[in-house]
Amino acid sequence: MAGQITITLPDSTTLQAERGATVFDVIGAIGKGLQKAALAARVNGTPVDLASALDADAALQVITFDGPEGRDVFWHSGSHLMAQAVKRLFPDARPTIGPAVDNGFYYDFDTSANFTPEDLERIEAEMKKIVAEDLPVVREEMDRMKAIELFRAAGESYKVELLSDLDAETVSVYRQGEFVDLCRGPHVPRTSYLKAFKLLTIAGAYWRGDERNKMLQRIYGIAFPDEKQLKKHLQFLEEAKKRDHRRLGKELDLFSIHDETGAGLILWHPKGARLRNLIEDFWRDQHYKNGYEMVVSPHIGKSQLWQTSGHLDFYNENMYSPMDIDGQNYYVKPMNCPFHIVMYNNRGWSYRDLPLRWAELGTVYRYERSGVLHGLLRVRGFTQDDAHLYVRPDQMPDEIDRVLAFSLYMLRSFGFQDFKVYLATRPSEKSVGEESMWRDAIAALEASVKRAGIDYEVDEGGGAFYGPKIDIKIKDVLGREWQCSTIQFDFNLPERFDMTYIDTDGKKHRPYMIHRALLGSLERFIGILIEHHGGRFPVWLAPVQAVIVTVNPEHADYAKGVEREMIARGLRAECDLREETIGYKVREAITRHVPYVAVVGAKEVESGTLAVRRRGENSPETLAAGAFMDRLAAESAERK
């Protein structure tokens, strides 16, 4: 029929609809429950609003809050709702940008007012009024110059600047009541969809993330389709706040960051350094056991090195300004790879020498804008858990199996058990390397993941221009995903540095080069580890495994003797000899999340024992001092 079109659903089923029907109406024909849950849709792969009309046959995919794209639509709509409320309460406020982010949304404002927590309550109340008004959210496309005139007349200079930088003839704006915003969309159909929300924090942010621009005020928020989901999320945020590595880092005296030493640069205190050294020692030991050799490279390199590697052309904005040494430009290194390749090229290699597995805990320096720095998780100087594998084509399957198993073993050793793997394939844009190399590398990566029996997703076109990769994401105790391990092929650097080996035919061939990180950066990994364990490190990682607490000063000599013997055995103990009450000292040790508290009183001195209380348990256990040390040593060896 001329008046009908065919709609194809993701499961390949089809249905007929009237030409010109809206996406919302078509979804209603599929099911009223789905229609109620729908926030937007994809039509022939393009995100659209539910009010969009369908004028031709189309593939339709419904977007709901259950998927990441739906949450993005919902949270972006929440940012518009908040901006409208702010404009009502603070008429001089000029909105800048307000995107959805990983866990909610934010909007940046230029305003004479200094937002306070009380203001957030007022803004929330106004948002509820707007939701009750049930305003339609309407998309309008217009000529870019007309849009500039619209926003200029409204005094929205930031929107005018954004529009002036756009290379497009037509743009889209969204209206809800008196509020209009520049936006690609899509958005929820009406403000009444945004039933449950909470404004969380106020922060400062530079316009366009540039410290040279004006400081704006940023309001963060979160929204959900119902109050139950919101309440659950707020409980999650409260637990995450308790586990925040920045708070615990200060409470446990692990690390600090100071303006006088530089933003994004970590100072490791004795206990934090002990934790880091424990991780590094385990890392090195396991690498040697897995057939790796260690290398060490300098912190700076001549500009010629970074020109050959391509970093000066493609990565310069993340590198720091050069320093002049004897008339030559030197750069602090953003990556370790070029140094490892120069080591490789220092001599000739035969097919018999491969594979080579070279690893380094190499400290690198990358420029990050001040607005994105975040404790240990986003820094400017960090130590990369780095390795490079140089292999023959026939060795690829075994090497990938080996490094994947090694990655999972290391992550499990630190208490992570839930993994998700992403296989990133060749991008459609410019990429280097022969098609056969990409095909073989992708096949080797995918086959290895399958053999490991791990759930994985194919990220079509998500690889770097220089090679495909496997990314391993871990889930922490709160269910948050973190990117740690990467297994990345590189077809670019071997060409740039003319890396070769002599094969069985007596001719030179290119080795396959694989970048590999197990933990990622040590700083970031330790931040994740702190939050995963909530500061309650397992015995083998605890900077202090036991605090020996004295009841009275006369018990100090015995306690010190136990401490000395424990340290001599490689255990980590401290004495608390302060003239405080025993209850106070025990409570403080518990607050520090020390795995064991050993109390020493007259009875223990006389019998050569300790009253040992394990973390999380209320009743102490009497143990001979030697038996307690044996227990600690055994738990450390078993990584408990």
pLDDT in tens, 232-258: 999 999 999 999 999 999 999 999 999
β strands within 177-214, DSSP E: 179-182, 196-206
Task: Give the tens place of pLDDT for each residue, 88-123.
Answer: 999 999 999 999 998 899 999 999 989 999 999 999
Catalytic residue among 366, 392, 572, 592: 366
CA atoms of 93 and 109, how far apart (whole Å): 6
Catalytic residue among 71, 76, 271, 469: 469
| Residue 1 clears pLDDT 90, i.e. is over it | no
Q: 366 catalytic, yes or no?
A: yes
β strands within 426-550, DSSP E: 456-459, 469-475, 481-490, 501-502, 508-509, 512-517, 546-550
Instruction: Work out the average pLDDT over 493-522.
Output: 95
CA atoms of 111 and 131, how far apart (whole Å): 24
Q: Count Cβ neighbours within 10 Å for each residue of 213-251 and write b for 16 or more, e otherwise.
A: eeebbbbbbbbbbeeeebeebeeebeeeeebbbbebbee
CA atoms of 569 and 562, how far apart (whole Å): 11
Closest by CA position to 202, among listed 216, 187, 185: 216
- Average of per-residue pLDDT values in the chain: 94
Map out the domains of the chain as residue ranges.
4-64, 69-238, 267-297+333-533, 546-637
Q: Cα angle at 287 between 283 and 290, to 5 degrees?
A: 140
Task: Give the tens place of pLDDT for each residue, 364-404.
Answer: 999 998 778 899 999 999 999 999 999 999 999 999 999 99
CA atoms of 374 and 153, how far apart (whole Å): 38
Q: 386 catalytic, yes or no?
A: yes
CATH topology of domain 546-637: Rossmann fold (3.40.50)
Pick the CATH number of 69-238 from 3.30.1330.40, 3.30.980.10, 3.30.110.60, 3.50.50.60: 3.30.980.10
Q: Is 95 exposed, middle or buried (0-12, 13-18, 19+ CB in 10 A)?
A: buried
Q: 575 catalytic, yes or no?
A: no
Q: 233 catalytic, yes or no?
A: no
pLDDT at residue 553 in the model:
92
Task: Give the tens place of pLDDT for each residue, 339-370.
Answer: 999 999 999 999 999 999 999 999 999 999 87
Query: Residue 629 in contact with residue 636, Cβ under 8 Å?
Result: no
Catalytic residue among 72, 119, 181, 386: 386
Q: 84 catalytic, yes or no?
A: no
Q: Is 394 exposed, middle or buried (0-12, 13-18, 19+ CB in 10 A)?
A: exposed
| Residue 227 clears pLDDT 90, i.e. is over it | yes
Output 465 or 334, whichever has higher pLDDT: 334
Q: Kindly list the distances between the CA atom of residue 602 and the CA atoms of 59, 559, 562, 599, in Å, as whole numbers in the listed order.
A: 81, 11, 15, 10
Q: 515 catalytic, yes or no?
A: yes
pLDDT at residue 2 in the model:
57
| Residue 211 clears pLDDT 80, i.e. is over it | no
Catalytic residue among 87, 119, 287, 337: 337
Closest by CA position to 211, among listed 16, 103, 87, 367: 367
CA atoms of 43 and 572, how far apart (whole Å): 61
The conformational region for residue 497 under phi > 0 = left, psi -120 to 50 = alpha, else beta, is alpha
User: Structure tokens of 365?
Assistant: 């320096």
Output 429 or 398, whichever has higher pLDDT: 398
Output 433 or 614, whichever has higher pLDDT: 614
CATH topology of domain 4-64: Ubiquitin-like (UB roll) (3.10.20)
Instruction: Work out the average pLDDT over 302-310.
Output: 95
Q: Which CATH class is domain 267-297+333-533?
A: alpha beta
| Residue 274 clears pLDDT 90, i.e. is over it | yes
Catalytic residue among 88, 271, 388, 392: 388
Instruction: Work out the average pLDDT over 578-604.
Output: 94
* φ, ψ for residue 393, nearest 5 deg: -55, -40
Instruction: Work out the average pLDDT over 421-437.
Output: 85
Q: 592 catalytic, yes or no?
A: no
| Residue 546 clears pLDDT 60, i.e. is over it | yes
